[in-house]
Chain A
């Protein structure tokens, strides 16, 4: 299945929240929607879920407009919430029934998911007796109980401890292997980088960049060099005094130096110069930007 968001524009009153947002993904891959607070991530997701209607634009599944009542979609809203005073199993079955899932199937799914998330002991507990993180896991069960083809998770990692985050990560990976379309928004770049092939970075309601992470990274000029050494200071001095005409900027990062060159083709010159210097060098490589760098790069100055 191919999932497309085409040219979505949305304004609330005077305020333009989304302006021509487009992206696409398909079965068996995960798409991460990134953006700073207020960039329009949740609004985009809510438009996909038809909580709001877009002013212009459309959401397509295999080329046809997406009908949320016909396609099985598992949605975990950013505003988490279930019935605090009801038993967990009772409300899980209710949400499944709303999606049109047969009671026997819903029960089996609920059991399986509760077990997978190590929550079986709370089957008959009331939701408000659980900790926040555990309530979030129940929310995930409610999202996945309908065995959805499309899974949309709005900030799924917020509020989870590292162990639970790994659990969720594994579940998301399983869903990708199962050939589902997974869409989620997050601030946690490390998780996104781990299992998203594609990302969309939103900034002020517009798509700042979208596509596969690898290609976005490749698209960056390869003019940053990372040099690590036991004696960074000496290298720093060497660079500043001998090849400063090639260098635009120099900064320390971890055990090494990040050297930004004026031009990418000067790399070999720098390598030669450093090879001849007396300081011991551990590592010399072209610096690949992290997702974090990309994110900051595209969203800085916005909002």
Chain B
């Protein structure tokens, strides 16, 4: 136990003294701070500019060329009220060629040529991803068409207006999880789990392989028990990782709280931080459990590398498996179907369960016994893989030369009676 704690402390302090590790944490915290304070920063600059009255030129100018026979005034005023203050709608009498020229010259930003009551052409310099002009124009034109259809059928314009203005009211009662709310934070946490498990797993294999390539290994295996070395290393990097994970989560939460007022209108950010505490705790639990199973495998594989350059080749199968699991889970949460047979299987299989079970807990309603079974399987396989990793490590660390084949690794098991 004393030996284990020496190794654990040595590994942990290795991370905490590592300039790259500290630097990375600081950079990410700064990025989070900057990202979450962005609206406030933007606002500071805006409020300076706000003293100058907003120029007409700030508005998006849209030219509307109306087909003959349509009431130009009504069309323009309807468009204006539908688009709102950010836009300036102007009637223009021009054909497509002239309008294109005017847009190119910068007289207008966009143009609409209404060719019939239910068709139009939209001319724009750059079609932006968030461009909703056609969506709004469609609404307005349909409204106009329905109005004229109703009035021509003998309904008074007033009644027609009333009929068209009717809305349906609804109320949604969510008994389990609201996926529209949980989707964002589930996505964010799954991404975090994925990145940190992969990163720290790689750190472990890196550290094992570098001890091997610096030949410190023979000193280590003749001084300490391999099980202690393996568990000390994995737990040491694990705690460093967990600390970093918690620092990042806390700084994100802190900077969000400071800037909460500025994010009032952003549903995505709001729902990401609207995560229930319970889910956050599950995230930490599955981070820890998921990390261990991969860290042991990465550690064992790292011990088979002769040089640090070999690590990538050796860890590729595990990394691919992990990426595949990630893809399955991401596509399931994106489609919203987190209780499919595949996901249920994944949520018990120890290599996928950390992410899959978390996704299910977060986005669906999972019975407690299922969670307990999944976690139990995970912990049992972790202990087994941990010991297995120690055996491979013990035997692998003194193998130099070619990257071993699976056959050679199996032979090691036969040869190794004690660890």
Q: A82, B222: Cβ atoms under 8 Å?
A: no
Q: Given that A53-B417, A97-B6 are known contacts, is A77 also in contact with B214, CB under 8 Å in the complex?
A: no
Q: How far is the CB of B148 from chain A (nearest CB, A)?
A: 80
A23 neighbours in B (Cβ, 8 Å): none
Knowing A94-B10, A97-B6, the reply to whether A77 touches B223 (Cβ < 8 A) is no
Least Cβ distance of B409 to chain A in Å?
A: 14
B221 at the interface (CB under 8 A from A): yes
> Is the Cβ of B418 less than 8 Å from the Cβ of A77?
no
CB within 8 Å of A: which of B210-249? 211, 214-225
Q: Are A49 and B222 in contact (CB under 8 A)?
A: yes
CA distance A69 to B222 in the complex (A): 8
Residue of B214, B223, B225 near A83 (CB, 8 A) is B214
Contacts of B42 in A (CB 8 A): none
Contact call B214/A82, Cβ cutoff below 8 A: yes
Q: Report if A51 contacts B (CB, 8 A).
A: yes
Which of A73, A95, A98 has the most CB atoms of chain B within a 10 A radius of its CB?
A98
B398 within 8 A of partner (CB): yes
Complex-state Cα separation, A82 to B216, whole angstroms: 4
Instruction: Report if A159 contacts B (CB, 8 A).
Output: no
Interface string of A21-65 (1 = CB under 8 A from B): 000000000000000000000000010011111000000000000
The 8 A CB mask of B189-220 against A (1 = contact, 0 = none) is 00000000000000000000001001111111
In the complex, per-residue mask of B1-28: 1 if CB is within 8 Å of any chain A CB, else 0: 0110011001000100000000000000
Partner of A99, one of B217, B218, B223: B223
Q: Which A residues between 70 and 124 are near B, CB-CB below 8 angstroms?
A: 73, 75, 77, 79-84, 86, 94-95, 97-100
Whether A79 contacts B222 by the Cβ 8 Å rule is: no
Q: Is A142 within 8 A of B214, CB to CB?
A: no
* A68 sits at the interface (CB 8 A): yes
Please state if A80 and B215 are interface contacts (CB–CB under 8 Å).
yes
* Interface SS of B by simple majority: helix
CB distance from A296 to the nearest CB of B (A): 30
Measured CB to CB, the closest approach of chain A to B225, in angstroms, equals 7
Most buried by B among A49, A75, A86, A97: A97
1/0 per residue, CB under 8 A from A, across B23-59: the answer is 0000000000000000000000000000000000000
A81–B222 CB distance below 8 A: no
| A51 in contact with B220 given A79-B215, A81-B215, A98-B7 (CB within 8 Å) | no
Residues of B close to A49: CB separation below 8 A: 222
Residue of A nearest to B416 (CB): A53
**B residues in contact with A50, CB < 8 Å:** 222
Interface size class of B (residues with CB under 8 A): 20 to 34
Check A51 against B2 for contact (C-beta < 8 Å): no
A145–B223 alpha-carbon span in the complex (Å): 12
Tell me whether A98 and B215 are in contact in the complex, defined as CB-CB below 8 angstroms, given that A51-B398, A53-B418 are known contacts.
no
Residues of A close to B418: CB separation below 8 A:
53
Is B219's CB under 8 angstroms from A95's CB? yes
For B225, list chain A residues within 8 Å (CB): 69
CA distance A77 to B2 in the complex (A): 24
CB < 8 Å neighbour of A81 from B2, B10, B219, B417: B219
Residues of A within 8 A of B216 (CB): 81-83
* Contact (Cβ within 8 A) B214 A94: no
Are A77's CB and B10's CB within 8 A? no
B214 touches A81 (CB 8 A): yes
A193 and B7 CA atoms in complex are apart in Å by 40
A51 contacts across to B, CB distance below 8 A: 218, 221-222, 398
Interface 0/1 of B375-419, CB less than 8 Å to A: 000000000000000000000001000000000000000000110
One of B215, B221, B223, B417 near A95 (C-beta < 8 A)? B223
A52–B221 Cα distance when bound, in Å, is 11
Residue of B nearest to A50 (CB): B222
Shortest CB distance B14–A (Å): 8
Complex interface: chain B residues within 8 A of A69 (CB): 225
Whether A98 touches B221, Cβ cut-off 8 Å, given contacts A51-B398, A80-B215, A82-B214, is no
| Given A82-B214, A83-B214, CB of A77 within 8 Å of CB of B3 | no
Nearest CB on B from A174, distance (A): 22
Distance, CA A79 to CA B418, complexed state (A)? 23
- Report how far A236 CA is from B91 CA in the complex, Å: 128
- From the candidates A73, A81, A98, name the one contacting B3 in the complex (CB within 8 A): A98
**In whole Å, how far is B224's beta carbon from the nearest beta carbon of chain A?**
5
Set of chain A residues within 8 Å of B218, measured between Cβ atoms: 51, 77, 79, 81
Whether A68 pairs with B222 at a CB distance below 8 angstroms is yes
Q: Given the interface contacts A50-B222, A51-B222, A95-B223, does A100 sit within 8 Å of B3 by beta carbon?
A: yes
Nearest CB in chain A to that of B395: its residue: A52
Residues of A within 8 A of B398 (CB): 46, 51-52
Instruction: Verify A98–B217 contact, CB threshold 8 A.
Output: no
The chain A residue with its CB closest to the CB of B394 is A51
Residues of B bordering A, CB below 8 Å: 2-3, 6-7, 10, 14, 211, 214-225, 398, 417-418
- In the A-B complex, the 6 residue pairs with the smallest Cβ-Cβ separation, listed nearest first, are A81-B215, A97-B6, A77-B218, A98-B223, A79-B215, A98-B224
Given contacts A81-B218, A97-B6, A100-B3, 4 further A-B contacts (CB under 8 A): A53-B418, A69-B225, A77-B218, A95-B223
Task: Report 15 cross-chain contacts, Cβ distance below 8 Å, ordered by A residue.
Answer: A49-B222, A51-B218, A51-B221, A52-B398, A68-B222, A73-B222, A80-B215, A81-B217, A82-B216, A83-B216, A86-B14, A94-B6, A94-B10, A97-B3, A100-B2
